Amino acid sequence: MKSRILVLSLILTLLLATSSGVANPGGKGDSNRDYTCGGSCHGDPSLSSPSSAIIDVDIPSTVYSSTTAEVSVSISNLDTSDNGLVGIFLLGSKNGNSDHPEDYGWAIIQDPNGGSSNYIEAVSSDNQVTVSWVLLVPDDLGTKEIYVSIQHGSYYNHNNKAFIGETDAIVVNIEPIPENYPTLAEGWTSPEERISGDSSPITIRTVNTESLTVYWRLSGETSSHEATVDMVADQEWEVSLPATLGDTRIEYQIIASMDEFSNQMPWLSIGTSEPYFDGTSLGAKLQSVAFILIILGFMLSLQTWFAPRGVKKSIDHTTVVEESIVSKKTEESTSEPDSDYWSRLIKSDDNPGWLWDPVENEWVADPNLSGGEQ
């Protein structure tokens, strides 16, 4: 009986210890996910509601196999939570498993945030958001379907529900690629980011391409510039894009040409990341103090080295006062040796206020000019 009570108490305690909560109100980050994260909490009808958002998807209805295609997603009439976060899925199906476009032959060359995920999170502005994926079209011919789904919170969301929106199937007709049509090599993806200040070239791999032209522009700019492209191997090109600093994104567009074909691909982008730095706060403080002391020690040594013996500390005048008292008392008795000493000192026009002692080979402050004054 006792043990039963103990077990029941334990179960009750564990049940009470669980906290109610909402599913990741701060987002989960970009990653590869199935529809409604594989039917997890957001898939539960008691935990979700339909979103009021309007989703528009723009993708060419007919594309060539193994070429690039841009999927542009515009979401409007969004009612998000105060952080404005929206999760957007690009899907090949809505089964709850194996929904990734790659499961249907598509390859993501770049997602809207510069990575290669089918689920990304974006921050809405004025209740709307526009993003785009760049995909490599499957080899299989025929029709393929693409879906877009969104999830977000709401400002007035007392039940902590997730708001789900989704599109119907968008049918894309895939036609055979013309012979010798220039395009990107299968498996090539755009670099997500470069280290700040890095101007090393990026490598692009293509197929059926005899010449490659690349234009670049900074994010937000309208005018573009042509980049330098070098062919380093068969169907392998090195493109020199200028280095970027801070959180700048650089966008580039590839135009692959072969005979009469010219394949102008969608704009891709590369972010900028801070270089890896292994400095520590303690190290910075220690190094700073070390520099203070090294400089101080060096400059004081120089001062000591170059200071003439006649120049004394200006603050402590004790010895000066003591010497003047003693000198007054013994003025008469010691006048002869003093006069000998002072008479041998030579005045110098180059060093006014100082006298040269040829016996001791040193400079002495001229007492008539009160220690060096002119």
Least distance (Å) between residue 355 CB and another protein: 13
What span, in angstroms and rounded, lies between the C-alpha atoms of 212 and 231? 9
Binding residue (CB under 8 A) for another protein from 6, 8, 141, 299: 299
Residue 339: strand, helix, or coil: helix
Binding residue (CB under 8 A) for another protein from 275, 318, 321, 333: 275
Binding residue (CB under 8 A) for another protein from 307, 325, 329, 331: 307
Residue recorded with tokens 């090109």: 237
User: What sign does the dihedral 356-361-362-368 (CA atoms) show?
Assistant: negative
- What are phi and psi for residue 43, nearest 5 degrees? -80, -20
306 binds another protein (CB under 8 A): yes
372 binds another protein (CB under 8 A): yes
Query: Could you tell me if 113 and 30 are in contact, meaning their C-beta atoms sit under 8 angstroms apart?
Result: yes
Tell me the chain's radius of gyration from C-alpha atoms.
39
What span, in angstroms and rounded, lies between the C-alpha atoms of 224 and 227? 9
> Residue 14 or 293: which CB sits closer to another protein?
293
> Residue 156 or 276: which CB sits closer to another protein?
276
What span, in angstroms and rounded, lies between the C-alpha atoms of 100 and 114? 18
> Residue 74 or 219: which CB sits closer to another protein?
219
Binding residue (CB under 8 A) for another protein from 289, 323, 335, 339: 289
278 binds another protein (CB under 8 A): yes
- What are phi and psi for residue 201, nearest 5 degrees? -70, 155
Binders in 111-130 for another protein, by CB under 8 A: none
Q: Where does 184-271 have alpha helices with state H?
A: none
Binding residue (CB under 8 A) for another protein from 284, 323, 339, 344: 284
Query: Could you tell me if 214 and 135 are in contact, meaning their C-beta atoms sit under 8 angstroms apart?
Result: no
Q: What is the largest CA-CA distance in the chain?
A: 123
242 binds another protein (CB under 8 A): no
290 binds another protein (CB under 8 A): yes
Binding pattern for the stretch 201-240 against another protein, x by CB under 8 A and - elsewhere: ----------------------------------------
Which residues contribute to the site for another protein (CB under 8 A)? 196-197, 245-246, 274-275, 277-304, 306-309, 311-316, 351-354, 363, 365, 371-374
